[in-house]
Chain A
Amino acid sequence: MRRAPLSLRLRLVLQLLGIAAVLAIVLYFTVRTVADQAAEASQDGVLGAATLAIAESLQGGDDGVSVDLPYEAFSILGSISADRVFYRIDARGLTLTGYDDLPLPPEAGAAVAPVFYTSPYRDTEVRVAAVARMVLVARKPVPVLVMVAQTRQGQEAIAQRVAQRAAAIGLGSFVLAAALSLLTAGSVLGPINRLAAAVARRGPQDLRAVDHPTPVELRPLITALNGFIARLRGALARTETFIAEAAHHIRTPLATVRARAEIALRQSQSEEMRESLRAVIRAVEESSRSAGQLLDHATVVARSDRLADESVDLAKLLAAQADAFLPTADLKDLTLRVTAEPARVQGDRALIEAALRNLIDNAIKYSPPETMIDLALRPGDPVLIEVADRGRGLSGQKPGRLTKRFARGENARDVIGSGLGLTIVAEVAAAHGGRFDLTEREGGGTCARLYLPSA
């Protein structure tokens, strides 16, 4: 089973949050380290200065080493923070004065510049600065070691304050970065969402190229999509053209065949021959109808994404169609009763005409001989066109299925048909924003209703 890939937004947000967290942590430690080093450096500076001041007060002489502890050297140690101070002065390895248990430098031979080290002492931990000096005692050099130690409570207090502030800064920058990353993810993904919405809003027949303003990164997707749409439209157009051409090329020879067959029928003396010729004529007629429907369907598909927008007089149109079907109706002794009140809609005349043609054609086809077909036009919003016959009805089938392309009723197997008729009607209704339904008619038969939005 393949796992669904992470959403782009989630991926973007997680990565940005990860980066923000890493940066916040780096920031925290950087601030802490720098501040700790600065605090230690400043304390070391004061400690070293105090130690050097004591070392400079060392004096030699015949009596031995003497030292005059400078008051300010000690006093200044307390200037940064109230830390405890310890000192030790060794000459020839013996403690001259001070705290004789103060730890010695880890490496023997402290330099002229102060050496700093940290060491536990008594109940606390101290930072020690040690300076070595040579002092002349009775003209002989004597090594003297001066150590000054200070507790680090002040430095720790500074470090703690800094750590708190660093943590606050880190957390603050993370929160800020998190908020910004959410905004960023939203703004980065916005064009994709807008593009998707624009494509999704399109109607089923809308095969125009996508012309939505997009960032440069989405251009390849748009180009690919438009290429695909163009190929699809091309393929559809070729198919429709092919069907229209094919229908046209079939209908013309069929008309010739039919004309010739009718002439032959009139001239023929043999009843057998006449019967055969009538069968030929019926078959030709059916083929012609089917070809007509294919042509109608191709027209509907081809025109539905660029409908003509004209005012159509439905009453006139309906009357014209009823007239056109009179000869066919007469063949079955059917009566077409037209009840039309004046009504106009805004739409594509050719398509509406195709819909009416197929509706009437369908009713005639399924009506038993010597019945009446009611054609009614009722103005209003929507305008209703009703075609009611006394045919075999729906026999409980779902009307929706019958409007699918090439679908035919279970009870219509004995009647020749393409199954395109009602599909054409439904497609015309949809293209105009109307609807189409089929119901059982009271007293038997089918009632087809086409609703079109009024002008």
Chain B
Amino acid sequence: MRAALLALGLILGIAGSAAGFTVEEEVRFPAPGTERRELAILSTTDTGVLKPVIAAFQKRFPDVEVHYTVANSQEVFAAIHDESAAFDLVISSAMDLQMKLANDGFAAPYRSAATDALPGWAHWQDRLFAFAQENVVLIASRRAIGGLSLPQTRRDLIDMLRDDPERFRGRIGTYDPELSGAGYLFATQDARQSDSFWRLAEVMGGLAPRLYTSSNAMITDLEQGRLALAYNVLGSYAGPRLASDDDAAVVELEDYTLTLLRTGLIPVGAPDPALGGGFLDFLLGAEGRRLVGEEAGLPPIDEVALSRGPHLRPMRLDPGLLVFLDAIKRQAFLDEWAAALQQN
């Protein structure tokens, strides 16, 4: 009887995790020692980024096998929200979707010394925890903008585009908010922060912008000369990749620069929530912070860095993030965006 129940549970478990959401990559890190526990992580972050952190984690806990699944943020959200997929930890850069998961009751409460040490803006209740703060930046090719000085504010950027439209026509890149969750989040937060965003959208709309779904693609096109400027690129990707490129400049705009919080939560249906919490604690602990910063290239949560950069605006982990997820609100925003882009 018990064996039958166990078998049924296994089948259900497999059915649950094998169901409908699209997986980009699935990697198993076998336990270095005798395997006793399995940690299942669902993440939007590429395997390569967190690999050193996982290795260090397994060094400390040799009996843990890590099962790391990568999917895009919408799929990650759908896996938990709609399918209750069995994962112990969900890591995503889509703050709005993570916030909705937590708000709608899909995140289990978790408390430890590490989560208690987080500043107030870096967690929501005891359900959603940020472990990296990434600036959203402008990248530019010095050669492409000619002798012009690098813009320091959105007003500078608008003036530069208006003054020399031919130079930039077809050579401006930004996210497509309709197709990219991150792009939609950045655009909506921009719209909240300042009216200059809509002017920028209108100016860019007149210059045949190229729309992307990932930061890496924009960085590649800038490196290869196809783009002169890319607006709203994740600084954590652009910084390391463009560090050795003399031509490329990474600009944190001084009127304001959005800061994205990469967050983790433990789903309510986690098979081993304590292990998920353990990995979270490791990410937030001293060794994890160092590895996240140095090896993964994601700036760890650092209140001092924020106070040193008065232009930095960390996006607030609060129910406000739910507003732009509203279907009507989203449609209205995308309509507005389309109108701004297509006016000319």
Contacts and interface: CB of A to CB of B under 8 A. Distances in A.
A68 B318 contact: no
B327 A78 contact: no
A265 to B, nearest CB: 125
Given A74-B320, A84-B105, A66 B328 contact: yes
B77 to A, nearest CB: 16
A402 interface: no
A125 to B, nearest CB: 12
Contact of B103 (A67, A70, A71, A84): A84
Interface string A16-34: 0000000000000000000
Interface string A81-92: 010111000000
A122 B318 contact: no
Given A70-B323, A72-B320, A86-B103, 6 more contacts: A67-B328, A69-B326, A78-B316, A85-B103, A85-B319, A124-B105
A424 interface: no
A97 interface: yes
A414 B192 CA distance: 131
A96 interface: yes
Contacts of A270: none
Which of A67, A78, A79, A153 has the most CB atoms of chain B within a 10 A radius of its CB?
Answer: A78
B274 to A, nearest CB: 20
Given A78-B318, A82-B125, A84-B105, A97 B323 contact: no
A267 interface: no
A70 B319 CA distance: 12
A354 to B, nearest CB: 97
A97 B326 CA distance: 7
A84 B329 contact: no
Given A82-B124, A85-B103, A74 B332 contact: no
B319 A74 contact: yes
Contacts of A122: 104-105
B101 to A, nearest CB: 11
A69 B105 contact: no
Interface of A: 66-75, 77-79, 82, 84-86, 96-98, 122-124, 153
A75 B319 contact: yes
Which of B124, B125, B324 has the most CB atoms of chain A within a 10 A radius of its CB?
Answer: B125
Interface in B309-338: 316, 318-320, 322-324, 326-329, 332
Contacts of A66: 328, 332
A78 B319 contact: yes
23 contacts: A66-B328, A67-B329, A68-B332, A69-B326, A71-B192, A71-B323, A72-B320, A73-B323, A74-B322, A74-B323, A75-B316, A75-B318, A75-B320, A78-B320, A79-B318, A82-B125, A82-B318, A84-B103, A84-B105, A86-B103, A97-B329, A122-B105, A124-B105
B103 A74 contact: no
Contacts of A123: 105
A145 B197 CA distance: 33
A85 B328 CA distance: 18
Chain B contact patch, size range: 10 to 19
A84 B327 contact: no
Contacts of B322: 74, 85
A71 B332 contact: no
A324 B6 CA distance: 130
Contact of B327 (A70, A77, A82, A97): A97
A6 to B, nearest CB: 54
A73 B192 CA distance: 13
A78 B322 CA distance: 12
Interface in B197-211: none
Contacts of B125: 82, 84, 153
Which of A70, A75, A123 has the most CB atoms of chain B within a 10 A radius of its CB?
Answer: A75
Given A122-B105, A153-B125, A84 B332 contact: no
B329 A69 contact: yes
A73 B104 CA distance: 18
A97 to B, nearest CB: 5
A260 B37 CA distance: 139
Contacts of B320: 71-72, 74-75, 78
Nearest to A98: B326
Contacts of A77: 318-319
Nearest to B192: A71
A74 B329 contact: no
A242 B123 CA distance: 105
Q: 7 nearest interchain CB pairs?
A: A75-B320, A78-B318, A85-B319, A82-B125, A74-B320, A74-B319, A69-B323
A67 B320 CA distance: 16
B105 to A, nearest CB: 5
Contacts of A82: 124-125, 318
Nearest to B123: A82
Which of A70, A73, A84 has the most CB atoms of chain B within a 10 A radius of its CB?
Answer: A84
Nearest to B333: A68
Which of B102, B104, B192, B318 has the most CB atoms of chain A within a 10 A radius of its CB?
Answer: B318
Nearest to B103: A84
Contacts of A98: 326
A69 B318 CA distance: 15
Contacts of B103: 84-86
Contacts of B124: 78, 82
A167 B124 CA distance: 30
A77 B327 CA distance: 20
A155 to B, nearest CB: 14
A184 B318 CA distance: 56
A213 B254 CA distance: 87
Contacts of B328: 66-67, 69, 96-97
